[in-house]
Amino acid sequence: MSTKDWLEKDYYKVLGVSKDASAAEIKKAFRRLARENHPDQHAGDKAAEDRFKEVTEAYDVLSDADKRKEYDEARKLFGAGFRFPGGQGGTAGGPSMEDLFRRSGTAGDGGFSDLFGNLFGQGASRRSGGRGPRRGHDIEGETTIDFREAVEGITVSLLTNSESACANCHGTGARPGTTPRVCPTCQGSGMQTSNAGGVFAVSEPCRDCRGRGLIVDDPCPVCQGSGRAVSTTPLQVRIPGGVDDGKRLRIKGKGGPGDNGGSAGDLYVLVHVRPHPVFGRSGENVTITVPVTYPEAALGAEIEVPTLSGGPVRLKLAAGTRNGQVLRVRGRGVAKKNGERGDLLVTIDVTVPHHLTDEARDALRAYEAAAPEGDPRARLFAEAVGT
């Protein structure tokens, strides 16, 4: 019985029973229809003969509990009346079900017979050629760079460890002079299909060849039959300017080599950035906190500020510069992808002297008397009471 029949034919309708009919009801309906259409009672009647065959086919499925369960699940999954334009015979309107199930597809592109054969576990077609291309493994690496290198960008040297074809057996896994044989269990496909219960089947790597599709009777003494060997490869990796601490960079195609013509995997590099004792980061900007004296902040001054790249810059402080005020120096920040740079953000830190001479103390008292400002905290108390 074909999968096409399960999808196209309504066996319940053939027997004239409901979908929840009991086994006894199904048996009773079959006996009645079988008597009515038996060939012995309708000699030479082709229609009655076909009807008898159809009834028998329906009963064969619905009378078997396991077959009936699979039939019900298939119909539920794909819907009743699963047809394409053109009907069973196939017309100019489209292919018939019979046409679709007969097509096997080209190599590497299975048709409907592959799809439903795998689904129902009813002998899916095997393609020749064994395993197809398989992508190589991804490789993880890490590097630690200085803060300045993270801002500007740098090329670092890495040693990557990856599996490649064994040089002794050239990747076959067999001792030189011998060859592996096709796995008889999976026929070289590397996969096994087992019924998972009901209508579904599950494919998994073959247990005998572990997914390779080949059996090695005399393993290579170097790789012990795996066909792979660990190789160390030096690699130059460009770390772009502006990379953050903890950033995971992907370098495409620099991972482990693929199998059977498959593409190489990728290299992922975890970047650690050492903190700088003076500078910090805020997105594309470099930050720095610069201490200034009270007279410089109050009277105004010109000060020198170090930069991460190049020499220092001179900043002009306006009279009355406040503590925590941020000044911006254009173009002295983090390198951007478009060739431009972020800015240097300078935070002013007005310092308070820890030790005063008698003359300095008298001078401050004279200043306080000459420039009374009142209680700077009065507003806080007023607003606190108001709330």
Residues 88-131 pLDDT 10s: 444 334 444 444 333 333 334 444 434 344 344 444 334 334 45
The span from the CA of 273 to the CA of 145, in Å, is 5
pLDDT 10s digits, 320-360: 999 999 999 999 999 887 878 899 999 999 998 888 899 98
Question: Which residue has 């100019």 as its token pair?
Answer: 92
pLDDT band with cut points at 50, 70 and 90 for residue 156: very high
The domain 280-370 is classified under which CATH number: 2.60.260.20, 3.40.50.1480, 1.10.1270.20, 2.40.40.20?
Answer: 2.60.260.20
> Which residues are CB-neighbours of 353 under 8 A, at least 6 positions away?
294, 360
pLDDT of 257 above 70: yes
pLDDT 10s digits, 198-254: 555 667 788 888 777 888 889 998 888 877 777 777 889 999 988 999 999 999 988
pLDDT of residue 6: 55
* Percentage of residues of the chain with pLDDT beyond 70: 79
pLDDT of residue 306: 93
The region of weakest confidence among 10-14, 20-24, 378-382 is 378-382
The CATH class that applies to domain 137-175+225-274 reads mainly beta
pLDDT of 186 above 80: yes
3-120 falls under which CATH superfamily? Answer: DnaJ domain (1.10.287.110)
pLDDT band with cut points at 50, 70 and 90 for residue 261: confident
pLDDT of residue 107: 37
Query: What are the two backbone dihedrals, phi and then psi, of residue 316, each rounded to the nearest 5 degrees?
Result: -100, 120
Domain with CATH 2.60.260.20 in the chain: 137-175+225-274, 280-370
User: Are 56 and 34 spatial neighbours (Cβ–Cβ below 8 Å)?
Assistant: yes
- The pTM score is 0.50
- Average pLDDT on 24-48 reads 83
pLDDT of residue 314: 94
